[in-house]
Structure formats: structure tokens, C-alpha cells
Structure 1
């Protein structure tokens, strides 16, 4: 596990002839500024320089054509990252250029992942194992004021490159799945792709051989009796092997069809349950606020928003299960189709082999013998290719089985339970400190749960989750730990009491070795320890009087790139 620490930030606009610079405390930095003072632009720039673009930026900021330089440390070693537009450059502690990059996905992401010791690999929308963009490296550590408090895990842009990334990111950063698990899964995906390619090659070779065997001359028409008998024996052996293969494919088809039937039955049960939940919700809506008597015990239940919202949550859970079943049904459908294709192919091969065996050693012409010999040599090449492909496939299968065993070993249930229990304890304590009430605690204690509360309690619930997850990362992760940036936690008009709760909880629950950067309009009278940056110039984060100094410093880096 490596630790990332921010030291100093430089921002400059040659267009505006203005600049900004500041340092950061290794423990706590508070950035205070009213609306339009550039507070959020400053905060958004930090991970932006490292290639993680914020979900939203003020429309005027891109027009400034800002150049950014971030001095940071990785496990105590200093580096500088330069960014201007889509150009990135990394410099060492001696300010010597190490690498210049222009593509985030193919260049910056792998390079930065290596520097930070990140082995996270996710399948893209085509199923190809890919090192994700830097946004996924820092996603748990940044809450953007425009998006993050409303929709957790959405503070960066460009996240749609990977479907269903949330569970993988949570498992990776929390340590539930160690760093090595993702390395091994990438190996497994790569080997599976190679095996698929070999199987495609094998199909081409088999079909080519089949087409050759179905031509006018046949392998049985060998030049001499000995070769003829050898061909017959080889064909008999091949026929036996094909029949064994067919039995295996037939069994696979039977299993896939049985699984498809089971999934169809489960989907039908879920569909009926979803319909019943929708009927229940509609029935409650039609009754308005009229209380509902229990037909069994006579207890009167309130027909309120909470009850209807509970049904909606159950409905969403039901929809999630149905979606998962649909994914499984699609996968099983693919298995059934593949099994059907395998059966057809092997049946064609069996028919071809049987056809060859029906040829008699009657009178043949010299031309037939010559043609047959050429065919025999061609089939020998096909047989050699098929044998090589089979050997490679067998080797890959062995390696795949070995990696699968290692992956199962890395999916340590005891470790998972320990981390989940740690998180549950943390979020329970944080919710108490932040006075988060009337939430489903059982759901909130699930580390993969996404907060969906409403009103002023929602940002405090999100903060409870973020602080708990960060604590879990610093305690258990095998991945990177990074500066925690909380931009404007005073959301939804928090009253003075809750405002104090928010800042005091942030200060009290910060892990001892974590760097926090908190931005806010004010602290509402709370005295928070740490470095304080006050922004007072309206609409002017970048200052003309700093341009000469900052531009001269940045030019020392930029000149090396030129």
C-alpha cells in the first residue's frame, strides 16, 4: 500500500496573465471562501492535474486555459505533475522530466498506476481487461460539491467507460479483495481471451479438414496397402474421439438447457412478485392517507410516505434481482447456442469420417492416387496444426484452473467479514455523531450500499459513509491511500448545530495518517485545527501579482517538455 500526499499547487493562466499558488498541511487544510471566490475551482484542480476530471466545472474556467502543476509525495518521495489541456508530464524530485503524455487511458493511466502501485484492472464495455483512468484511483477520496453529496461515487466524469464499476471499486479500495486479486483476474481474462482465439483457430482447421475430406478423393486412397490400412485405423480412432467429444457436448447442452429452465422459472417468480409490489403501491396511493387496519390482529397502520417508499425500495431490490437474472439468462443462452454449434460441428465431422470409411479399395486411377496423396499430405498439416492448438489449449486450461484456485483463495471470507464488520462499526458511530436518524441501519451498514436519503439528513448520511469508508481504506486496503477532499459539506441548509456536528466529526474521525482538504463557505463559528486558506477576491482565484513568480517557476518544467 502506497500513500499519496499533496504538498503544493500552482495554477496559471497565460491568457489572463494571472496565477495562484498554495501549500497544504499534511493533516488538515481548510479552504474558506464565499460564492464565486474560486474555492471549488481550486479544489477541483487537485485531482484534475492527475488526470481525474471533475464531474462539473464552472463554464468560465476552461476558457482561462489554465496550466496546473502539483507537487506531491508518494511514500515520502517527491514528484511534480504538470498539466495543460490534454498534455501531462511527470517530473522527479530534482525537477527532471520523467515522462510526457497526451492520452489519459493508454498513457497516463498505466504510468500513474505503476507509480502509485495500483494494479486495478477492469473489463471495459467490450470485455477487454483495461487499466482504468485515474478517476477510479481516487474515487473514494473526493466528494465534489456539485454532484458528490447528491450522488455518491459520481464526483468525476468519464465513469461510464466501465459498466457496473461500483462493486469492484468498493471491494478494491476497502481491501475486501486484495490488490493481487485484480492482478490475477486480469491474467484470467487475458488467458480466457487467448483460449477463445485458439478455439476459433481450431474450428477453422477442423472445418478446412472437413471440406478437404469431402472432396472427390479421400484419405483412404493411399499409394499402398500399408498406408491404406494405417489411414483406416487413424480414421477409426478419430471417429471414436469425435463420438466421445459429442457425448461431452451433449451433456453440456443438457446442463445449459436445465439451467435456462431454472432461470426462467425464477424470473417468472420475480416478475409476479414485482407486479404484486406495484399493485400494493398503487393500492396505497389510491387510499390516500386513510389508515389501514390489519385483517388479522386489527392493528391500525399509517398509510404514509414512509410505507410507500418502503414498497418502492422493495420494488427496486426486486428489479435488481430481475436484472441479474436477465444477465444470467443471456449468459446461459450463449452457452446453449455454443453447445448447439459444437454439436453440429462434431456431427459434421463424424459424418465425414464415416463417409471416408465407406470407400472401398476397388479399382482406382493413377490420377486418383496422386490426388489422394496430395490430400493426405494436406490433411497431415491440418492434423499437426490441430495437435498444436490442442496442446496450447490444454496448457492454457491448466493455467486457467491454477489461477482460478488462487483467485478463490484470495477471496478470503474471514477477511471480508472482518472488513465489513469494521465498516459497520464505523458508520454506526459516525451516524450517531452526525445525528443521522430514521434510516435503515441494516442497509446503511452494508459497505456496498449507496446512500439514498432525502432532505438535510442526506449529506450527513453521505458524510457518514465517506468517513467510514475512508477509515476502512486506511485500516485495511492493499491499494493506495490518497488525500480526502470534501468540497462544501454544508449542503441542504444545515442549521448551526448540525454544521458544528459536521466539522467536529470530520476533525474527530479523520484517520491519524490521512490528509484532509475541506472546502466551505464558512465554519459557522467552529474552530478547526489545521492550515487555513482564505479566498476573498470575488471571481478572481488567479491573481495578476503572482503571475511573474509562478510562470517563471512553471517555465522551468515546461521548457524541458519543449
Structure 2
């Protein structure tokens, strides 16, 4: 089973020429820091890097330029966020591939969901278009933030309102009620329906062909007499008529092949024209680059990663060489285009000749048809063969249609079973079971347990509210681990500031740490005080001691060089 594991977070400030790196282990990760030490900003940066919008400190947003998050999900990945730009990488051996590099959130989200194997279908509320799920939608329940996260459940992320029914649908997806199996079957039904429509259209085509051919067949009796016409039928034997039809058939077959060759050549011509246009644009851009370089300083700075490049005579000469190579390649492509144009002209000419020959033969045949049944017999015999083959093909299509209908019905039955009351109760009972345990640990009365759409309701919980929120997030986390849903393998908890002065409440929050330690999941815990679990096995601890001194200069150069390396491709 794949597990989503956070591996490393790096934040970089070019303004302060400072950075911070946090590595995450598979088990418990504790970040200890008082208010204003950067603890919560670092924790929020995990989700901000993935694409979530949430409340970041104004000063933090001003000074941090780059957010880099490494994570594992079967393979190793990295996402680099700069403002609204995202660059998603996949590591292979000692190299990496760029999955997507874009400033369009929807494009990035589509690729990220493919990496995470999320098939959830969402709908844009304004346009009605299908869109992919997003990180803030999927990871709503994986984070309790320091501020409003302790007063409500899964409301830390902003700007989700453009997604229709985002809350109930994501509740059902994350709980597993309408999970991957549900959306897989929905997509399969859509695919099968599309294939079914194509088969129905194919069947209609066969029906039209059969009807057309059958209506054109003229069955003549043996006593039918030939009528007089301009051409003396006696001059034509059965063999001669067959030769005329065979010649016409050969010409038509030749034209079909010529049409295919012509289409291929036209496609090649189109591709060559695109290449020529691309190279011409490239040469123009290089000329612009050369003009820019001539008038620029001795160093040029990349606007994306800030990497400096030399701008001396040698580098300008290299630009000139590139322009010359582009011009040479442009000449080669133009020669190839000339050859293709000549071939297109030859084939077009041949097709015209064939069409003229075909018209002459067809004219002769049409005169003979006026008074002869010989050709009718030949033609009708061919039509009957086509009709028989059409009937056979239609039967095969009917079988395929029947199979598609059966498959669609099975998928619909599967979806019904996934949405059955029995399954709803099974998932609710599982979550309630973990809730009873977490409520007991936190000394919360069981009477407060109330689920709607698999989410704990918070009405009338009074002073128990923060602990009820924590108990539910933990219960849902443990439920998903029990279902081996590796996408939800991590939980991030940032203890609230207002609890910092309340020893009892803070201890209650830490009481669940032992339960989490015994799970197979990954925990990131932000706290103002030590929890008592800092020395346990498989635990990583970071202590932030100075206010507003979270970033340091000791690894800035290393981190910036890493950033430049990941922005080269």
C-alpha cells in the first residue's frame, strides 16, 4: 500500500538571504516554539506549498519567496511554490522529471491529483464544468490550525466556494463512503456510455447501408427483354462488361491509396510549416536576446530563480552561433517542404487523370445499363455480398452493445452498493468507535457524539469544543489508517495559543499523543511546551527559541543552489 509521507520542507527568503529546513520522520514530529517564533508559519507552509490558501502572517508572506515540499507517494516528489506558480517534480535515480510547471492552479491540481491517484470528480459552480479535486479539498481533515481550527472542523483552508457541494462531497470522499472505488466506477460508467453511443451510431450506419443497397437492387425475371439503346449490346460479352467494372474498381482503389498518400504528405507539410514557423520565431527571439545582451550589463539575472548568468563576448558569440545553426536548419526544412510540395502536385495530377478515366468508363457503363441486365447481375451480386457482410457486422455490434449495457448495469449496481445504507452505517460505526475511544481519552461525555455526513457536529459542546474537534480529527485519521487509505497517512496539529496558559487543557491535548504514537501514521505536532514524548523512539524534535528568528543564514546558499538546480529544466 502506498503511503503519503511528508519528507522535508524548505522555505527561502531572498530578501533576508535566509532559509529554514524541517525534515519529517515517519512517526511523530514535534515542533516546539512559543508565540511569534515561526512555529505556526512553518506548519502552514506545508499546506501552502501543496496549493492550499490559508491565513499566513503578513510578515511571513512578505519575506518568503519560495516554498519547497518534498514528499513520498510510492515515488519521490517535490513541489516548488512561488506566489501563484507551481513546479511539480518527480525524482528518478539521480535525476528528476518536470511533471508540470504552471501558474494556473487548475492545471497544477490536475497533475497533483494524478500523482496522488485521486479520481474524485468536482464541478465548477459557475460554469458547470468538471474539474479535478484540489489539495485543500482533499487534506481538509489532515490539519488543525492554531487559529480557527480549534473552533470548527476542517475549515482552515480558504477559497473553496467555487466548487459545487465541496463540503458534503469531500466529507464522503475522505471518510471512504464515496472514495476512489465510487469515482472509479462513475468514470467507468461515463466511458462505457460513450462507447455505447459510438456503437449505436455504428449500428445505425450499417442499417442505413443495408437499407440503401436493398432498395437499389432490381430483381428482373428471366423473361425480361433488352431494350434498344445507342450502343449495341451484342458488342459486349459478359467478360467485356466484367473488364469494364474491374477497371473502374482498380481506378477507385488506386484513388483511395493516392488519397491516403496525399493526406499523409499534407500532414507532413503541415508539420514542416509548424517547424519552420517555430524556428523563425526562435531565430527572432535569439536576435532579440542578442540585441538585449549587447545593451545589458555584464551579468543577467533569471526572473524565476534569480540565477545569475554571465554576459560577456563569448556568450554573445554563442548566441550568434545558435542563430546561424537555426538558419541552416531552416534551409533544410524549406528544401524538404519543396520536395513534399512536388509530390503533392504529382499525386493531385494522377488523381485528376484517374477521375477522367473513371468518368469515361462510367459513361460507357451507364449506356449499357439502359438495356442490359448483365451489369445489374454483376452489381447486384456485389451488393448482396456487402449486405451479407453488413448483416454479420451488425450482429457483432449488437453483441457489443448488449455487453456494454450489462457492464453499465453492473457498475451502477456497484455504485448502489457503495452508497447503500448498510455501508453508510458501517463507516459511521467505524468512526464512532474511534470517537468513543478518543472521547474517553480526553474525558469528553459520550453524549456529544453526533455525526452528520460522517462529520462530528459541534453544537452545544460548550467548553468541550476544542477537545471535541481534536478527538474527531484523530478518530477520522485512525479510521482511514484502519482502512489502509495511504493518502490520509499524515495528521498535522498546531495547538492553540489560548491553551498555552492552561496546563490542564494542554495536557488533555497531549493525552492523545500516545494513541497516535501507536498508530502507523505520520504526525506533525506544533506545541508551545514539551509533551513528554520527545525522547521516544521514531520521534523528531525541532525547538524554535527566538522570536522572529525562525530563518537562518547557515544553509541559505545550499538551499538556493538546490532551488536553482530544480529550476534548470
1:79 match = 77
Pair 1:42-2:42 in alignment: yes
Note if contact 2:10-2:21 (Cα within 8 Å) is conserved in structure 1.
Answer: yes
**What is the Cα deviation at residue 479 of structure 1?**
6.2
Within a 5 Å distance, the mapping from 1:146-185 to structure 2 comes to: 146-185=147-186
Distance 1:95 1:113, change over 3 A: farther
1:215 match = none
CA distance in 1, matches of 2:147, 2:111: 29
1:5 match = 5
Please, which of 405, 408, 413 is the counterpart of residue 416 of structure 2? Answer: 408
1:537 match = 546
CA distance in 2, matches of 1:528, 1:112: 33
Distance 1:478 1:38, change over 3 A: closer
1:374 match = none
Distance 1:105 1:83, change over 3 A: closer
CA distance in 1, matches of 2:82, 2:417: 44
SS at match of 2:554: helix
Within a 5 Å distance, the mapping from 1:507-526 to structure 2 comes to: 507-510=514-517, 512-523=519-530, 526=532
Please, which of 440, 445, 454 is the counterpart of residue 448 of structure 2? Answer: 440
CA distance in 2, matches of 1:94, 1:556: 15
SS at match of 1:159: coil
2:124 match = 124
CA distance in 1, matches of 2:165, 2:102: 27
Distance 1:440 1:527, change over 3 A: closer
CA distance in 1, matches of 2:185, 2:124: 17
Structure 1 vs Structure 2 CA RMSD: 3.8
**What is the Cα deviation at residue 439 of structure 1?**
4.9
2:211 match = none
Pair 1:556-2:565 in alignment: yes
Note if contact 1:422-1:472 (Cα within 8 Å) is conserved in structure 2.
Answer: yes
TM, length-normalised to structure 2:
0.58
Pair 1:419-2:427 in alignment: yes
Note if contact 1:456-1:491 (Cα within 8 Å) is conserved in structure 2.
Answer: no
Please, which of 457, 472, 475 is the counterpart of residue 468 of structure 1? Answer: 475
Note if contact 2:109-2:132 (Cα within 8 Å) is conserved in structure 1.
Answer: yes
**Unmatched 5+ residue regions in structure 2?**
202-397
**What is the Cα deviation at residue 544 of structure 1?**
2.4
Q: Deviations over 1:385-430 (max 9, x none)?
A: xxxxxx9999998775554233113335544433222211110111
**What is the Cα deviation at residue 65 of structure 1?**
4.1
CA distance in 2, matches of 1:498, 1:136: 30
2:353 match = none
**What is the Cα deviation at residue 459 of structure 1?**
0.8
Within a 5 Å distance, the mapping from 1:326-365 to structure 2 comes to: none
SS at match of 1:533: strand
1:63 match = 62
Number of aligned residues: 377
Distance 1:189 1:127, change over 3 A: farther
TM, length-normalised to structure 1:
0.59
CA distance in 1, matches of 2:171, 2:43: 23
Distance 1:479 1:532, change over 3 A: closer
CA distance in 2, matches of 1:438, 1:476: 24
Distance 1:493 1:512, change over 3 A: closer
CA distance in 1, matches of 2:494, 2:194: 42
Pair 1:487-2:494 in alignment: yes
CA distance in 2, matches of 1:161, 1:190: 26
CA distance in 1, matches of 2:112, 2:560: 25
SS at match of 1:480: helix
CA distance in 2, matches of 1:28, 1:411: 35
Note if contact 1:109-1:134 (Cα within 8 Å) is conserved in structure 2.
Answer: yes
Greater shift in the superposed pair: 94-103 or 54-63? 94-103
CA distance in 2, matches of 1:173, 1:63: 34
1:371 match = none
Note if contact 1:424-1:446 (Cα within 8 Å) is conserved in structure 2.
Answer: no
**What is the Cα deviation at residue 478 of structure 1?**
4.6
SS at match of 1:161: coil
Q: Deviations over 1:340-389 (max 9, x none)?
A: xxxxxxxxxxxxxxxxxxxxxxxxxxxxxxxxxxxxxxxxxxxxxxxxxx
**What is the Cα deviation at residue 120 of structure 1?**
1.6
SS at match of 2:55: coil
Note if contact 2:500-2:506 (Cα within 8 Å) is conserved in structure 1.
Answer: no
Distance 1:410 1:422, change over 3 A: closer
**What is the Cα deviation at residue 522 of structure 1?**
1.6
Distance 1:63 1:117, change over 3 A: same
**What is the Cα deviation at residue 501 of structure 1?**
2.1
**Unmatched 5+ residue regions in structure 1?**
202-390
Distance 1:104 1:405, change over 3 A: farther
